[in-house]
A and B are shown apart, each in its own frame.
Chain A
């Protein structure tokens, strides 16, 4: 069971009304619905941050290489050499 803390939030009226409707339909209290929505939103934000980091790392991994060097990095040619 995760630890909980009471707090006060200011929320958009429409979203709050929708959350209250969901809570009534599911016979749970409003905190459960808000906590689920928050967790879902945080998962999306975490995924965005992770994605941005992956893209940054990939760009760093392949930045500054000439086309021939990329062919070596891609395993297309083993190395440069004279005929």
Chain B
């Protein structure tokens, strides 16, 4: 178990929502204890991804459902704690990550309802690189739910530490590993 007092942690986009939606009592209690001690640290990239998501859902709905989505979006904006911008240092580290692991390490998402194009997959991968770079520069463990992508970044930083002077290693904590 990861003691909430060991924070602060940086939360990846899907990790943030996992904590809010998990039915696990232990995870809910972990989040409550964490929030007593620290604000929820996220990247500005997460705010952008999330806001885009609410906007997309809002645009395809109408009436009461649209009102519910807007209420959820406003509730989300109220939660914002520490939002880290992509500054020069983070941009440099993110660029190095994108160069070392130029292609997404996991395939595009596909299901019977949707398909992710190569360009969309690449964009999502680059957003993940920015979030990982934020964790590296701010020296915070990254809580995530996306082992395929973030483990590839961690390995890349370990293999080529000279390109990330003073920034490694990337500490990763899977959501399930918090408990």
Residues in chain A within 8 A of chain B (CB atoms): 44, 47-48, 50-52, 54-55, 57-65, 68-81, 83
Contact = CB atoms under 8 A, between A and B. Distances in A.
28 contacts: A44-B36, A47-B37, A48-B36, A50-B36, A51-B33, A52-B32, A54-B40, A55-B20, A55-B31, A55-B35, A58-B31, A61-B20, A62-B17, A62-B21, A64-B68, A64-B72, A71-B109, A72-B57, A73-B54, A74-B14, A74-B49, A74-B53, A75-B49, A76-B109, A76-B124, A77-B120, A79-B56, A79-B60
Contact of A54 (B50, B81, B114, B127): B81
Nearest to A81: B114
Most chain B CB within a 10 A radius of its CB, from A50, A64, A72, A83: A72
Counting from the closest, the 3 A-B pairs by CB-CB distance are A75-B49, A61-B76, A58-B20
A83 B115 contact: yes
Contacts of B19: 58
Nearest to A70: B17
A71 B124 CA distance: 12
Interface size class of B (residues with CB under 8 A): 35 or more
A72 B20 CA distance: 16
A54 B79 contact: yes
A40 to B, nearest CB: 14
Contact of B120 (A50, A62, A73, A78): A78
Contacts of A44: 36
A72 B53 contact: yes
Contacts of B158: none
Contacts of A77: 109, 114, 116, 120
B75 to A, nearest CB: 4
A19 B118 CA distance: 66
A54 B82 CA distance: 13
Given A74-B14, A80-B113, A81-B114, A55 B32 contact: yes
Nearest to A52: B32
B174 interface: no
Contact of B35 (A51, A69, A73): A51
